[in-house]
Amino acid sequence: MADAGIASRRDCERMIEEGLVEVNGTLVATLPAWVDPEEDRIVVDGRPLPAPARPIYILLNKPTRTLTSARDEPGADRRTVLDLVDHPGAGQLFPVGRLDFDTTGLLLLTNDGDLANRLTHPRYGVPKVYRALVKGQVDLDSIGSLEEGVKLTDRRDGKTIGASKTGPVEVAVVHREADKTVVEVTIREGRNRQVRRMLAALGFPVKKLERIAMGPLRLKGVQRGYWRELTRGEVQALKRAAAQAGRSAESGRRKPA
């Protein structure tokens, strides 16, 4: 019921206890109540529960100058990621996390809210890998500073409310020339423009930024500006990674002081 948008989980439980829910013509007023939404006919306060939407998982290779949003602000006319996805279920989709307007690469679009939350919430720490072309030579000292964390300002409602250190990251140098370096940065948070801000804070402005991985999902099999549905194996791998991250987060919270 909550997944269908009827109400919050707590309110849905209250509605069941108040006798407002029928399953296959039988009143259900006690918890827990087990049903199969694909097989059982559920009626809530006299109205049939809509059939569950088929889970959809889309990998988009996001191009530059594209807004990571379902729609733009009124009066603006910027291209959004959903403008690029010609799929029958596109109206149900939302982006998992965000990529900056000029950042390219892997973006997952889905209607699976639970999986999206586990992939993006910093509590679970699912890794995201970015490849950045920066100005200057990234030396060992700078790599160490990045890996230990960089202090960044925190903002809320357009105002600076303080500063805090980023969590540990992993950094690998892919290519180095006299005046530029290509690095891969793995983060487990999701701060606004985090990779760009971390590198800029150490004196390495980002010239190009691309996300190449999210958990076990890699950017492959799709050209820039195009999309494809995930394979069954990719969906299963994402769900396993999200479940493992959830177990690790729960274990960390239960660890004795």
CA-nearest of 112, 80, 104, 116 to 190 is 116
Q: Greatest CA span in the chain, whole angstroms?
A: 74
Catalytic residue check, 141: no
Which residue in 3, 36, 100, 114 is the catalytic one?
Answer: 100
> How many whole angstroms separate alpha carbon 74 and alpha carbon 231?
36
Alpha carbon distance, N-terminus to C-terminus of the chain: 38
Alpha helices in 164-231 (DSSP H): 194-201
Bridge partners for 23 per DSSP:
26, 42
Cα–Cα distance for residue pair 142/161, rounded to 1 Å: 27
Q: Is 254 helix (H, G, I), strand (E, B) or coil?
A: helix
Q: Annotated catalytic sites, by residue?
A: 100
